Structure 1
Amino acid sequence: MKIALLGYGRMGKTIEKLAENRGHSIVYKTSSGLKEDELKKADVAIDFSIPEAAFKNITTCFQHQIPVVCGTTGWLEKYDEAVKICKKENAAFIYASNFSLGVNLFFELNTQLAKLMKKFDQYKVDVEEIHHTKKLDKPSGTAITLTEQILANSAYTNWELKEENTSISEKTIPVTAKRIEDVPGTHIINYASDIDDIEIKHTAHSREGFALGAIIAAEFLKDKTGIFTMKDVLNV
Structure 2
Amino acid sequence: MKYAIIGNGKTGSHVATILKERNQSFEIFNSTNRVTKEKLKDFDVGICFVNGPVFESLAEELIASKINIVTGATGLEWSEALSKKVKDGKCKWIKASNFSIGMNIIHKMITDCMAKAQYLFDEYEYKIHEVHHTKKLDAPSGTAIKWKEWAKEDIDITHERIGDVVGDHIIELKTSNEIITLRHQATDRSIFATGAIKACDYFEDLDYGLYDFEDLTLNKLLN
TM-score when normalising by structure 2: 0.89
State the superposition RMSD in angstroms.
1.9
What residue is the counterpart of 2:66 in the other structure?
65
Worse-superposed segment, 28-37 or 187-196: 28-37
Give the CA deviation at 1:224: 4.9
The yes-or-no answer on 1:179 pairing with 2:161 is: yes
What residue is the counterpart of 2:79 in the other structure?
79
Runs of 4+ in 1 over 3 A off after TM superposition: 222-225
Give deviations 1:11-58, integer Å, cap 9, x for gaps: 110011112223321134214642333222211111101111112323
The alpha-carbon distance between structure 1 residues 225 and 64, as it changes in their structure 2 partners (threshold 3 A), is farther
Give the CA deviation at 1:103: 1.0
CA distance in 2, matches of 1:222, 1:4: 18
Give deviations 1:180-228, integer Å, cap 9, x for gaps: 1110001101011342210000001110111100000023226854233
Q: Is the 8 A contact 1:48 1:71 kept in 2?
A: yes
CA distance in 2, matches of 1:13, 1:121: 48
The yes-or-no answer on 1:113 pairing with 2:113 is: yes
Q: Is the 8 A contact 2:38 2:65 kept in 1?
A: no
Q: 1:95-106 to 2 correspondence within 5 Å?
A: 95-106=95-106
The yes-or-no answer on 1:218 pairing with 2:219 is: no
Worse-superposed segment, 36-45 or 182-191: 36-45
Q: Is the 8 A contact 2:7 2:28 kept in 1?
A: no
> Where does structure 2 lack aligned partners over 5 or more consecutive residues?
none
Give deviations 1:148-174, integer Å, cap 9, x for gaps: 1112xxxx3xxxxxxxxxxxxxxx411
The alpha-carbon distance between structure 1 residues 62 and 22, as it changes in their structure 2 partners (threshold 3 A), is same
Q: Is the 8 A contact 1:62 1:92 kept in 2?
A: no
SS of the equivalent of 1:186 reads: strand
What residue is the counterpart of 1:14 in the other structure?
14
Q: 1:195-214 to 2 correspondence within 5 Å?
A: 195-214=177-196
Give the CA deviation at 1:109: 1.0
CA distance in 2, matches of 1:50, 1:115: 30
> Where does structure 1 lack aligned partners over 5 or more consecutive residues?
157-171
Q: Is the 8 A contact 1:132 1:180 kept in 2?
A: yes
TM-score when normalising by structure 1: 0.85
